[in-house]
Structure 1
Amino acid sequence: MSETFKALSERIGKVGELYARAHNIERSPDWYLLKLTEELGELTAEHLLIGGRATPDGDGSGGTREALENEAADLFGQFVLYLRANEIDIEAAIERKWLRHLDHYTEAGDA
């Protein structure tokens, strides 16, 4: 990735604002979580379709690598919007929750 997370987050935030205005969407705190859940469902559907564990829609769309990537982008974008709306510093949270384990496992010789 060539952009910092902060710069990417700002650009995604602008797109979210433009989309909400264009479609007259009032984004409540619950809306962000519900939209994130919707996007996870769409990614799941594409994943299962590619793996042959689901059947395509009546129009036969989906089931391609590009469709999977697009749904992953939608999920990521909505996740970023959720983080922004809830003022979550994800970089600090990842350091605290995940990356601290690197030192532990490195010291134990497991890395």
Structure 2
Amino acid sequence: MLKELMEQFEMASARYAADNGMERDDDWFVLKLQEEMGELIQIWNKVTGRGRRKGMSDAELATALADETADVLGHILLFAHRNGLDLTAAVERKWRFRPEA
């Protein structure tokens, strides 16, 4: 499942980069992930009363929080794809979904 998502995000990201004349070098993937984390934190601060809502309703904040979380997920998957990481195996190992016998 993660591999399919990685491939879908990769196609969307490559298309976006081509349409906007961007080069996605090795650093771009981790820097973009950091940028998206910053955007998630900004929204979280608004949701939790630590930042100005700027007129956003509760529904708009909930949508923005979901959108920024999706961006972070996408960029994690892009980073893993770029670096040839097997996230499925790593999750199973690290989170002990399939503990060793």
Q: Which residue of 2 aligns with 1:5?
A: 2
Question: Pairwise CA RMSD of aligned residues?
Answer: 2.0
TM-score w.r.t. length of structure 2: 0.85
Shift of 1:88: 0.7
Q: Is the 8 A contact 2:5 2:77 kept in 1?
A: no
Q: CA deviation at 1:86?
A: 0.7
Q: How many residues align?
A: 98
Which of 89, 93, 96 aligns to 2:93? It is 96
Structure 2: runs of 5 or more not aligned: none
TM-score by length of 1: 0.78
Distance 2:30 2:16 in 1: 17
Partner of 2:40: 43
Q: Which has the higher contact order (CA 8 A, sep 6+)?
A: 2
Q: Return the alpha-carbon distance in structure 1 between the equivalents of residues 99 and 17 of structure 2.
A: 42
- Deviation of 1:65 (Å): 0.1
**Structure 1, unpaired ranges of 5+:** 105-111
